[in-house]
Structure 1
Amino acid sequence: MMSSNTTTCVSTEEEERMFEYETQHLGFTPKAFCNGVYNAALEYIQKAIQEMETYLSEEYSTVMTPTQIKEACEVILSTMVSKLDKNFDIIETYLTKNVLTIPDNVLLPEDKAQAGETYSAEQEDVLDTEIQDLKDKILALKYANSKLKQEMNLIDIVQARFDQAQKQLQRLDDINSDSGVSDMKDCLMFTSQKVLELVSKVKAMQVKDKSSTMETDPRDRHTHKSSTMETDKRD
């Protein structure tokens, strides 16, 4: 048993195929024709109400104020549009079902080549498989295009960052040129080498200071020993 959703889907697809077929035969879609007629009727009504408002404002300005005339015309317009919508729904249904359709005995020129030909169930299955393969390829292409678009966005971001970094490097080069520095790389290497030499000298000085602090004068040790012995003798 077919569900209501499936029935609706099949019905919609069938209607779309019929609209395509009718468009080939008529040269326009029934929906577009009905919309055109409705818009034309609505435009005529609006122009008529506008002309009536102008006439009343000129001939009966002493009887009614412009505001009263405008409000009355708007009420009339609203009433007529409401009636137009209600009646046009009936007309549109009648046109799409009885007038703007292709009779069963009409065969379009592009379909005459297949007139009288019949297809077996196996051939229809093959066609259905080919159609499904084409649909899968279309979906795959859409997915690939989506991924490609994402990659292009990432490339744009990277390019923008690269351009910004390039501008900063150019700014540094301009500063170096204004300062008289010919080669930034050589200057940095020379400066780093001098800094390393200074660090080595400072470390060497720190080692010497520690050594001199730890060493004491031998005479001081002798004097300290003698004083200690004298103290013992007094005791």
Structure 2
Amino acid sequence: MSVPMCYETQFFGFTPQTCVLRLYITFQDYLFDMLLVVEGVILKKLERFPVCGISRFEIRDSTEKYLNFINERFNYLFQKMENCLLKLVLKVPRNILLPEDKVHVEYSYNKEKFDDLQNETKGLQEQNKAETLATQSLLAELEEQKAVQAGLEKILTWFDGLDKICREHGNIDLLESFAFMVQTSKKLQVTVKEIDTKHKKLKLDKTSKTPVQLRPRRSNRKK
């Protein structure tokens, strides 16, 4: 038997070598059965000539010898027939393709195209990875913004409640009150700075006007 024919096996649904082997076994069985029939006919003919001197064992021996001879010739001829079957009859031509292989003809590619596709795939994978990281960062920032927004909403709610309380007690508008407080605070800061500057200036003036005290001289007179 030759090397397994994989493509032909896919095309036919069976291996060509198995098909040839079954043909060989079929011919062998048919030949053996045919010789048994011939042997039976000869034995019936001998029954009509009991004095011919040929026994049944001699006929069986002759049948086996003839079978061996026929087998040798048959094997020789079958080898040629096997080559013919495998190379011509059961061989799928190159222009015949399986349905699943037609796509390779329509979209053929070589090593360069394959490398280009691999590089493009790697680039897309890296881009996808970068976009995934960017998306995760944006989601994290969005969560932070939601937390900040929730805090601001609490503060605004607190201010609204405080403003409502102020209005109920006859106070001025809360926003105007805060603005007045900010302005007053700025004026106080300016006033404090002016006072501090004047205080420092007064200290300097006092220091410069302090009289110089002379030390008394010692008397040289003797008592």
Q: TM-score, normalised by structure 1?
A: 0.43
Q: TM-score, normalised by structure 2?
A: 0.46
More helix by percentage: 1
| Structure having the higher Rg | 2
